[in-house]
Amino acid sequence: MKNKNFLIYLFLIFIFILVSNLSGMIPYSLTVTSYLIVSFFFSLATFIGLNLVGIIYNGVTIYRLALPDGIPLVISYFLIAIELVSYFSRVFSLSIRLFANMMSGHTLLKILISFSWTIIWLGFSFSFVGIIPALIVFLVIGLEFIIAFLQAYVYIILISIYLNDLINLH
């Protein structure tokens, strides 16, 4: 029941990332999520917000995430270090995943479009050689639309998992 309170928040993040990703498909525009600093700031703000929600729901018992019950004292120091590193790496994994996928797709599209444009200017526009790069560009544009949606979806799924861990202390 308490997870339903976050549906609007998750939906707004999904729409923001989807619109940001799709805005880069408009010619002569940019995708803000293809900048690492924007993706990192967005992921960091989300991470801090999720931790605040976890503290509000569970208080100081949220720190039990770093050390499960029943762990021997000898291993506990190593386990806490490993858990903290993996916990704080969530920020980097969210931001780098979003940044890298959006940047790589746009870079590939720019390379293919410039190659296709060069083929057309060489006079092969109506031949078989000129049609293949243009067809590949259109297929990659379709793939970019799918990737824009999938990146927003994966981001929301990961945030939902992290939120569930913080609320239910798993």
Spell out the per-residue pLDDT of the chain, length 170, in tens: 455 678 888 999 999 999 999 988 888 888 888 889 999 999 999 999 998 988 888 887 777 777 777 788 888 888 888 888 988 999 999 999 999 988 888 888 888 888 888 887 777 666 677 778 788 889 999 999 999 999 999 999 999 998 888 888 76
Give pLDDT, residue 74. Answer: 83
Give pLDDT, residue 4. Answer: 65
Give pLDDT, residue 129. Answer: 72
Give pLDDT, residue 26. Answer: 85
Joined tokens for residue 35: 């900048």
Give pLDDT, residue 57. Answer: 85
The DSSP output letter for 34 is G
The Cα 14–Cα 100 span in angstroms is 18
The Cα 44–Cα 99 span in angstroms is 14
Whole-prediction pTM value? 0.83
Give pLDDT, residue 169. Answer: 75
The Cα 17–Cα 151 span in angstroms is 8
Domain tally for the chain? 1
* DSSP string over 52-101: HHHHHHHGGGGGGGGS-TT--HHHHHHHHHHHHHHHHHHHHHHHHHHHHH
Cβ pair 170, 50 in contact under 8 A: no
Show the domain range for 94.
2-168
Give pLDDT, residue 124. Answer: 67
Give pLDDT, residue 156. Answer: 95
